[in-house]
Amino acid sequence: MAKEYDLVILGGGTGGYVAAIRAAQLGLTTAVVEKGKLGGTCLHKGCIPSKALLRSAEVFSVVKKSEEYGIMTGEVKLDFLKIQERKSKIVDQLYRGVQHLMKQGKIDIYEGIGRILGPSIFSPIPGTISVEMNDGSENEMLLPKNVIIATGSRPRTLPGLEIDGQYVLTSDEALHLEQVPQSIIIVGGGVIGIEWASMLCDFGADVTVLEYADRIIPTEDDDVSNEMKRLLKKKGIKIVTGAKVLPETLTRSETASISAEINGETTEFSAEKILVSVGRAGNVEGIGIENTDINVEKGFITTNSYYQTKESHIYAIGDCIGGLQLAHAASHEGITAVEHIKGENPASIDYSLVSKCIYSSPEAASVGYTEALAKEKGFEVKIGKFPFKAIGKALVYGESDGFVKIIADKATNDILGVHMIGPHVTDMISEAGLARVLDATPWEVAKTIHPHPTLSEAIGEAALAVDGIALHL
């Protein structure tokens, strides 16, 4: 017998489980089908474990320079297994939290692989879900009025660059390292690559980043990307841009070696390990898309702005539709889809209002247009930039590199983009996000009296700098 639901969600990652909570709040009978663990990539392979490791790396590097703060310590040593243990404890605690939230919402969880069936004896339209249960019990049949596909993504590699888990890793394998490699080549200088580069360098590894584009974190503002490069190089990371990695040159013996073409010349790089971070592919295979009219373009499911696929009762959200591939984007897409199903008339998401964060040391964060994009879109811009070195709290904190940059429209005074690099900017970006949501002008941001001494004063000062009236520069 098929079990009937208002909504079945395929995938219990950040997108899927948050959508389920919202659906339960709105009174929809809801089930989640999850083949792995509730919480998905973000909780088990992404945001949380990587940030736990980054925090240990940060503590390690602060303790090593504790004398600067007048604190004398003995020899500072790493216990990497303990660091991994701490990471797992945090993940477990949050995992239990998600399980509790599912129970609280009376959301049914099916542990198994879900597939969408075409028209069947159960329904004349595609959308019945068959679940191959992880425990080997008989397949469950679920008959939902609506479906949300939230199957997420997996690491990509370069054709020919085979992931072996020993010499060549993705972030999935790197999260389980039992010791810090002496040296590592990171292929790809995007967000994940840069976070790992920063972390492993702080743990003491010799790190080389090979990036194909002409700059690292190429989707960020030029100034931020240049400052990130300068600061990572200052701490010893080697960064090679314009490097086309040649997978066929990979050799594995004592160490791993790979060549890259740089300015027409081939250079060989060797290290204990190679971490490949060249983007993430949508999980769109094996879920029954072929039984529907759903479109897939360049490996991602296409949807309208309410996340409906071509089958209007089947929605898709999160990493499997591409776009920003961020946890908070996935969950808000899920909420929008559920509210649309319920007929709540939700506003569609304006992606220029979604903040993006990089948790390396230094951190970087942004919301809205980069300077280049704003100009490309035809805006005449005015820019305010304020360095952390002129902020008392940054000096107190011991981290005064970086800046806040605000880009505004000369014609309307609207804030078009805010870009930050420096201490705790990932926590500070939400003020800029709110300013964008409320359509604030730099003047209004500056009128928000920022308490002293705080790092957030840099935002107030950058807002004043837009009109050339910064106070402390």
- Return the number of the residue (98 or 408) whose C-beta is nearest ligand FAD: 98
Residue 36 in contact with ligand FAD, rule: CB under 6 A: yes
Residue 114 near ligand FAD by CB under 6 A: yes
For residue 138, the 8-state DSSP code is P
**Residue 376 CB: number of other CB atoms within 10 A?**
10
Binding piece for ligand FAD, criterion CB under 6 A, among 39-47, 74-82, 241-249, 384-392: 39-47
Asked if 466 touches ligand FAD (CB under 6 A), the answer is no
How far is residue 144's CA from residue 122's CA, in Å, rounded to a whole number? 10
Whose Cβ is closer to ligand FAD: residue 225's or residue 360's? 360
Determine, following the binding rule CB under 6 A, whether residue 330 of this chain makes contact with ligand FAD.
Answer: yes
Q: Which position has the token pair 């492993």?
A: 200
Contact between 46 and ligand FAD per CB under 6 A: yes
Minimum distance from residue 132 beta carbon to ligand FAD (Å): 9
**Which C-beta is closer to ligand FAD: that of 12 or that of 362?**
12
311 belongs to the binding site for ligand FAD (CB under 6 A) = no
Q: Which of 100, 176, 452, 472 is catalytic?
A: 452
Contacts of 40 by beta carbon, 8 Å cutoff, 6+ apart = 11, 12, 13, 14, 15, 16, 17, 34, 152
Site track for ligand FAD across 251-290, x = CB under 6 A: --------------------------------x---x---
DSSP codes, 113-131: EEEE--S-SS-SSS--EEE
Tell which one of 21, 40, 184, 209 touches ligand FAD (CB under 6 A).
40
The owner of tokens 């929809």 is 28
For every residue of 195-210, DSSP letters joined together read HHHHHHHHTT-EEEEE
State yes or no: residue 342 binds ligand FAD (CB under 6 A): no
Say how many C-beta atoms besides its own lie within 10 A of residue 142's C-beta.
23
User: Under the criterion CB under 6 A, does residue 152 sit at the interface with ligand FAD?
Assistant: yes
Q: Does 34 bind ligand FAD (CB under 6 A)?
A: yes
Structure token pair of residue 422: 């420096």
Residues between 378 and 437 that touch ligand FAD (CB under 6 A): none
Closest CA to 428 of 382, 395, 393: 393
Contacts 24+ apart (CB under 8 A), 124-130: 125/311, 125/313, 126/288, 126/291, 126/292, 126/293, 126/311, 126/314, 127/292, 127/311, 127/313, 127/314, 128/2, 129/8, 129/10, 129/33
Q: Which stretch binds ligand FAD (CB under 6 A): 35-43, 69-77, 231-239, 299-307?
A: 35-43
* Distance in angstroms (rounded) separating the CA atoms of residues 260 and 239: 13
Phi, psi of 394 (to 5 degrees): -65, -40
For 439-455, b/e burial (b = at least 16 CB within 10 A) is ebbbeebbeeebeeebb
Catalytic site includes residue 44: no
Contact between 12 and ligand FAD by CB under 6 A: the answer reads yes
Nearest CB to ligand FAD, comparing residues 248 and 290: 290
Binding mask 350-389 for ligand FAD (x = CB under 6 A): ---------x------------------------------
Catalytic residues: 452
Q: Which residues bind ligand FAD (CB under 6 A)?
A: 10-16, 33-36, 40-42, 45-47, 50, 113-114, 150-153, 171, 192, 283, 287, 318-319, 325-328, 330, 359
